A = this chain, B = another copy of it.
């Protein structure tokens, strides 16, 4: 619990679990004149809670324009009285009342799955222990499904999924991923890649699952782009890990299109470790 500036109103931190179709959003982060997920969600919360100024959000994964999410997590600090006031005369919990109000206000491409009081020490970004992403590619052995055209990238050629999984496995662990990151002054590019696997799904679409403690900008799309030449037989299985070890971005590693990517899940430690985890993450990221 914190207090809002200049007033006496008790603040409350809410955790929001949400999903969105990134197609018509200019990414997560608010940008003037652009339709963004943060902008839409903040606007909805501000309206519902009749807040004096825009409700600010902190998110686990700041997705780029066109990237989707099924398991995004955010937090917002709101005035407790306004939140409790949503219940009205209906006999329901404020969580349910807010969920119903959000569904009434939000556009169809943005869905809040769950609202709850965040446990003490919870920070949607810094308390997270891992992020899981999914990348979908329809190569020539998959039937193109027009219903999935917005979350699946079409690719010429046929991918060797076993070779890709082997190449991906050689990238696991605590490493400097500078070769797959857009460099930012003073920021570390060291991350722990926990899982990176490929499989052919029931509809023959090739899917990558990528899990790390955190990702730097465009890292998942570059990791996918690094392994595709292996799948097409143009590079050896060891090539992506050699690029990683060289530590320099190379033109053969394409940053893959945004629309194939979706943030599927964010994980957090048990409640009593949330605050410690947040302190640790902040220290490491600086």
- Assembly CA distance A3 to B146 (angstroms): 35
Q: Which B residues lie within 8 Å of A110 (CB)?
A: 146
Q: Which B residues lie within 8 Å of A113 (CB)?
A: 143-144
Question: Would you call B21 and A149 a contact (CB within 8 A)?
Answer: yes
Give the Cβ gap from A130 to chain B, nearest Cβ, in Å.
19
Q: Which B residues lie within 8 Å of A109 (CB)?
A: 146, 149
Q: Does A19 contact B (CB under 8 A)?
A: yes
- In A249-277, the 8 Å CB interface with B consists of 262
Query: Scoring A residues 66 to 91 as 1 if CB is less than 8 Å from chain B, else 0, what string do you get?
Result: 00101000000000000000000000
Give the Cβ gap from A66 to chain B, nearest Cβ, in Å.
12
Query: Scoring A residues 16 to 58 as 1 if CB is less than 8 Å from chain B, else 0, what string do you get?
Result: 0001110000000000000000000000000000000000000
- In A99-133, the 8 Å CB interface with B consists of 108-111, 113
Question: Would you call A108 and B151 a contact (CB within 8 A)?
Answer: no
Question: Would you call A145 and B108 a contact (CB within 8 A)?
Answer: no
Tell me the number of copies of this protein: 2
- Assembly CA distance A89 to B262 (angstroms): 42
Give the Cβ gap from A261 to chain B, nearest Cβ, in Å.
12
Question: Would you call B108 and A149 a contact (CB within 8 A)?
Answer: yes
User: Contact residue range for chain A?
Assistant: 10 to 19
Question: Would you call A70 and B147 a contact (CB within 8 A)?
Answer: yes
Q: Does A150 contact B (CB under 8 A)?
A: yes
- Assembly CA distance A150 to B151 (angstroms): 13
Contact of A68 among B20, B108, B147 (CB under 8 A): B147
Q: Which B residues lie within 8 Å of A19 (CB)?
A: 143-147
Question: Would you call A20 and B144 a contact (CB within 8 A)?
Answer: no
Query: Scoring A residues 223 to 253 as 1 if CB is less than 8 Å from chain B, else 0, what string do you get?
Result: 0000000000000000000000000000000
Q: Which B residues lie within 8 Å of A111 (CB)?
A: 144-146
- Assembly CA distance A96 to B108 (angstroms): 39
Question: Would you call B146 and A20 a contact (CB within 8 A)?
Answer: yes
Question: Would you call B70 and A143 a contact (CB within 8 A)?
Answer: yes
Interface residues of A (CB under 8 A from B): 19-21, 68, 70, 108-111, 113, 143-147, 149-151, 262
Closest 8 CB pairs of A and B: A21-B146, A111-B146, A111-B144, A21-B147, A19-B146, A109-B146, A147-B151, A20-B146
